[in-house]
Chain A
Amino acid sequence: MTTPVPVLACQQVVKRFGELEVLRGVDLEVAEHEVVVLIGASGSGKSTLLRCINLLETVDDGVIMLDGQDITDPRVNRDLVRRRIGVVFQAYNLFPHRTVLDNVTMAPRFVHKTDRSEAERAAMALLARIGLADKAREFPDRLSGGQQQRAAIARALAYHPRLLLLDEVTSALDPELVGEVLALIRGLKTQGMTIVMATHEMAFARQVADRVLFLHDGGVLEGGPPEQVLENPAEPRTRQFLARFIEGGRL
């Protein structure tokens, strides 16, 4: 069953940096509870697309709809849009001067005006669920990369976003730590979270993705169920990109 209105719909999204056209008319629809994985070489526009969706970048053309609302309309309040979207960055971007608990409760307390004790209670429950309860009072720089990234995910989840954007969240982690972060994301999928993620973890993409999109040269070159795109790609360029992973035994 799919909802009539997709949670996210990108239509012909264009983004340029000076002369360079990073996105050349990207189309993307994400239904509720769907997990869409963006793959592609570095520079193919994955991160730019995610930044456009969260309005960290202003699109140069095209439309992005969140729950049917055109969020690229300049009349729209960006902050209100961002309240409905959670973002996790490759480099965690936790606030080093605040404890993990403060990081997680910052949005609920200062954006969503949740009472401090209530926000902290919810945050502790969230941190306990992802196994970070004992690190709540620590400062981010004292945590391992995997713990920091899980804390960053908790920070993005703390205000119950409609859509979660994950931008190569495991790229800065060693394989052991990658596992704990991916397990957490897998858990989110089972809870019905709507997720758009950019990743180089092809094996993981195969497990959790409802749909895989291969971005190339600023556009979606091909997309479909993971078995199809990852194992039997139609496009030669996709085949070439995935060859390295297949040879490396990562699929």
Chain B
Amino acid sequence: MSQPAVSAIERDRQAYRRARARRSTGIAAISTIVFAGALFLVVTRSPGWPRVRQQFFNLEVARDSLPRILEGLWLNIRILVVAEVLILVVGLAVAITRTLRGPIFVPLRALAAGYTDLFRGIPLIILLYLIGFGVPGLRLQGVPTSAVVLGTTAMVLTYSAYVAEVFRAGIDSVHPSQRAAARSLGLTYRQSMRLVVLPQAVRRVAPPLLNDFVALQKDVGLISVLGAVDAVRAAQIESAETFNFTPYVVAGLLFVALAIPTARAADWTAARLERRERAAGVL
């Protein structure tokens, strides 16, 4: 883009803004370096540091345990992907059910409300025990007994309840005038939901949904209580073999590394939404 000719006063303003931006960057860099240096010194000079490093940050143990933990993490990731897809479908279905109008839907609405109340309230660990250990014990026909499948089921049940509430908040946040405009075009209730309300609602709740997704990323580690050899379980085994806590730290850092891209994606989505839908300008 060619730069249009500007007056001296505009050049002055642009120069001032550039100078301000440079100054901010400089201050940020210096304060970060000073802070990081001070933190490093405080930690490494403290008396217990050698023992902490030996037990928590042992490079040798970390190297040896990494392959098995990574193998376990791959199971976590597969569960995560499958569970998230199911959660979005079930959560959206429950949310839409709760917004249905008309007397005929009263039992469905009550069921959906009861579902969210129950599964949002019940601790995930209890649900994991009930489904993971309790259900196979019933020896019902056709019911899977794999710890992975049952654990994923428990995860989906709990998280769908959360996600349903997020979706419902999004649906409710769409201004009634939008519904009025949609219905005035002759769209049916379902059409106006699908074409007008839901697209706006989903876009608006994308950041909180990603937040729930991050929470799920680490909660898939809970599946280890059922005996599935995921990253947490693998770390536990390694830790028991070496009498060292480093494998847990490795697994923990891997989960963090997994969560960071999602967190950035959440920030980015929110920022893009802000740019696209809000009125432009300096606010």
Contact = CB atoms under 8 A, between A and B. Distances in A.
Given A19-B1, A74-B17, A74-B20, A56 B283 contact: yes
Nearest to B176: A141
Interface string B1-26: 10010110110010011001000000
A57 B7 contact: no
B10 A78 contact: no
Contacts of A19: 1
Interface in A66-110: 72-75, 78
Given A73-B13, A74-B13, A74-B20, A56 B7 contact: no
Given A74-B16, A74-B20, A60 B10 contact: yes
Contacts of B6: 60-61
Most buried by B among A16, A55, A58, A61: A61
B10 A61 contact: yes
B7 A62 contact: yes
B173 to A, nearest CB: 11
Nearest to B9: A63
Nearest to A141: B176
B282 interface: yes
A12 interface: yes
Secondary structure of the B contact surface, majority rule? loop
A57 to B, nearest CB: 5
Interface in A1-55: 12, 16-17, 19, 21, 51, 55
Contact of A55 (B1, B4, B282): B282
Contacts of B1: 19
Contacts of B34: none
Contacts of B17: 74
B281 interface: yes
Contacts of B13: 72-74
Contacts of A16: 4
B7 A61 contact: yes
A91 B16 CA distance: 35
24 contacts: A12-B7, A16-B4, A17-B280, A19-B1, A51-B281, A55-B282, A56-B282, A56-B283, A57-B280, A57-B281, A60-B4, A60-B10, A61-B6, A61-B9, A61-B10, A62-B9, A62-B10, A63-B9, A72-B13, A74-B13, A74-B16, A74-B17, A74-B20, A75-B16
Given A61-B6, A61-B10, 8 more contacts: A19-B1, A55-B282, A57-B280, A60-B4, A60-B6, A62-B9, A63-B9, A74-B17
Interface of A: 12, 16-17, 19, 21, 51, 55-58, 60-63, 72-75, 78
Q: Which 3 A-B pairs have the closest CB atoms?
A: A56-B281, A61-B10, A61-B6
